[in-house]
Amino acid sequence: QAQAPQSFGPDNLYEKIDGRAEAYLAYGFERLECATYTKGKDSVDLFVYDMGSPLQAFGMYTSERGEGKALSVGQQGYQAQGSLFYWQQRYYVQLVGANGTTAEAGFAAKLAPQVASKLPSGTADIPGLKWFPAAGLAADSVGYTREAALGQDWLKDVYTAKYREGEVEVEAFLARRGAPAEAAELLQRYREFLASSGKLSELKAGGTVLYLCDQNGMFDVVFQKGNTFGGVSHVEDRQAAVAVATRLAEGQP
């Protein structure tokens, strides 16, 4: 049984998700269709966000992605307690159990493919999923930040990923631009930021220069190679930071 659906646009999204609307707007949100489904005592709220493009849907999904059981619905999805989340083409879908019960989780899992069947099918190409070297890459950890990446207002369109290097988790990032000069400009601006907060030094990885910043025992390592600016951020172990940054640099064209 479904209640009458509701629809929200950029101008009134805050009425439905007050406090979170700005994040969705930053990812290019266009429309929200939502409804509530009930089955006995179980209740599941359906949210279908049209994010304007597959990349923006992927970005919004990954920005909110939490711990959960991976699901084969949409292009990527997971279940957490009584709720289910996935993205498909330009849509980010949430099925949220009202009480977080096992029964609601089952109800949401039955609804999910029904919703997916009404959305455009096919696999959308997300270029950055192919950019990160596979060795040590954590499963389903690649994400996309559209605006203000790494806390920098000027840094846009950045892919992120998590690596496991020994016992250390390493946050990595990559951004590609239309020309090497544009990537070099990103590196220069980020180096200026790092120089203001820590001690910079240079290392070599093959033919690529790595810039290491020690910020009181937390390490960033950045580089530019061709059209790519990338590196690792806020790593607690110097050796792990350098190892992953080197692997990243070597994996770029």
Say if residues 35 and 47 touch (Cβ distance below 8 Å): no
Q: What is the pLDDT at residue 228?
A: 99
Say if residues 39 and 67 touch (Cβ distance below 8 Å): no
d(CA 195, CA 201): 10
d(CA 208, CA 211): 10
Say if residues 211 and 233 touch (Cβ distance below 8 Å): no
- For the chain, the average pLDDT equals 96
Angle at Cα 154 formed by Cα 10 and Cα 226, nearest 5°?
120
Does residue 253 register a pLDDT over 80?
yes
Name the CA dihedral angle for 230, 233, 239, 240, rounded to a multiple of 10 degrees: -90
Protein fold of 127-250: Protein Transport Mog1p; Chain A (3.40.1000)
pLDDT tens across 120-171, in order?
A: 999 999 999 999 999 999 999 999 999 999 999 999 999 999 999 999 999 9
Over residues 170-182, mean pLDDT: 99
Q: What is the largest CA-CA distance in the chain?
A: 64
Q: Which two tokens stand for residue 2?
A: 């479904």
Say if residues 189 and 235 touch (Cβ distance below 8 Å): no
Give me the residue spans of the domains in the chain.
6-117, 127-250
pTM for this one? 0.93
Q: What is the pLDDT at residue 1?
A: 64
Least confident of 36-40, 86-90, 212-216: 36-40
Collapsing DSSP states into helix, strand and coil, what is residue 235? strand
Compute CA 165 distance to the chain's CA centroid, rounded to the nearest angstrom.
20
Say if residues 144 and 138 touch (Cβ distance below 8 Å): no
Collapsing DSSP states into helix, strand and coil, what is residue 179? coil
d(CA 156, CA 176): 10
